[in-house]
Amino acid sequence: MSKYDIIIIGSGPGGYVTGIRASQLGFKVAIVEKENLGGICLNWGCIPTKALLKSAQVYDYLKHVDEYGLKAEAIDKDFEAVIKRSRGVAEGMSKGVQFLMKKNKIDIIKGFGKIKTGKKVDVTAEDGTVTEYSANNIIIATGARSRELPNLPQDGKKVIGYRQAMSLPKQPKKMIVVGSGAIGVEFAHFYNSMGTEVTIVEFMPNVVPVEDKDISKAFESSLKKSGIKVMTNSSVESVDTSGEGVVATVKTKKGEETLEADILLSAVGIKSNIENIGLEDVGIVVDRDKILVNDFYQTNIPGYYAIGDVVPGQALAHVASAEGITCVEKLAGLHTEPIDYGNIPGCTYASPEIASVGLTEAKAIEEGYDIKVGKFPFSASGKASASGNKEGFVKVIFDAKYGEWLGCHMIGAGVTDMIAEAVLGRKLETTGHEVLKTVHPHPTMSEAVMEAVADAYDEVIHL
């Protein structure tokens, strides 16, 4: 029986990053993985979806090439080639993780891991053989999968989850997307860009419902402008897949409506992968589909830890990575501070992009703050005008009394690369005046942050 300092179950952005940091700290590490290194994010989530969206962006540019004073003829797309490129990007990244594992002397154990008492892990290989491993510490990083609703059972062909949406053999003519969170709207944008007729069904009053209402309204307007049908305050009650395609019965405020499509994508959230991994045998406490942990990710049983989508908090790749690093640094005896979950950036990579951090305007008011709010549209940005990306704006929220940066919300081209300024500023407890007096380069999209802050303090120049 092999003995390790740390065994990690799962090699997603939580597991493999945790393994590398643990190895750097001198721990002997093994990672148990039943599929491909990199987990869902790298193989079936974050990375390949961005490859698909890049193809959609290039195709959109080509369709509007005349707006840039250029000419092109016979513009078309090859759906199968687009999918193939996305899979190639994912495979390349997975090989990169394999290299990192070797570089950091981390053992990869292929198979399904199940924890046991006494800090042991049974790993079942593809051929059914079971091997027992032992460690001083076990970290559960098994991630999550597409959540299935009772009235929306996924058959993987007509009613699908995000995994199948990434590798359809042919492009559907019509698609229904249920749920308008990041996964739903990213796929809606991709397929719409490729020429599929898309309808989004959202249960809440606003699309991207976790975002600031100004962002949600602007994004819904953009979706409709692009030709996507949006149905808010609506729910899919049932689906009939007995025919050639899908017939969905949708409950709306005006009554029931029937939608027909080739494919229905269920994007109603995720389900933690915590079944059959031994939690009950060891006695680890679970509540509402999440493993309960302390600030440093220890479960109620000493020596057993959990990070990522299986624990409470935002189910995001960068959160899982940060949690894993925090966990093993604490194990190594380093001075470690708990993660501030109020300062986690969220990004949606549709077109336009959405990025946000901190409190929405409504939440800031609800919490009793006297606030200053500033907005700056990209239509007033020189860089945005030159690049042909004038849609969207930056919105900032400050505490009027102390100047604390309470929230930042962006919609527009490239904003997912801009939000880090607000995250860092909030981490360093900067004030509105300090941001305002920080010289931003011109012409850039990032100037809009400074201009939005200037608007909050009645000092805006270019608006």
Q: Which residues carry out catalysis?
A: 442
Residues of the binding site for NAD(+): 179-186, 202, 269
What 3-state class would DSSP assign to 392?
A: coil
d(CA 6, CA 134): 9
SS3 content of the chain, % helix, strand, coil (to 5): 35, 25, 40
Spatial contact of 377 and 412, defined as CB atoms under 8 Å apart: no
Tell me the binding residues.
50, 113, 179-186, 202, 269, 309
Closest CA to 15 of 32, 36, 28: 32
Residues that constitute the known binding site for FAD: 50, 113, 309
With tokens 């959990």, the residue in question is 306
Torsion from C-alpha of 446, 350, 422, 437, nearest 10 degrees:
20
Nearest to 457 by CA among 375, 364, 381: 375
* CA–CA separation, 231 and 196 (whole Å): 17
Distance CA(457)–CA(451), nearest Å, equals 10
CB 39 within 8 A of CB 32: no
Cβ atoms of 174 and 261 within 8 Å: the answer is: yes
Structure tokens at 116: 């046991």
Q: Which two tokens stand for residue 113?
A: 């891991």
Picking from 306, 301, 300, the residue whose alpha carbon sits closest to that of residue 118 is 301
Question: Which of 359, 318, 346, 348 minimizes the C-alpha distance to 413?
Answer: 348
Half-sphere exposure of 283 (CA within 13 A, CB side): 7
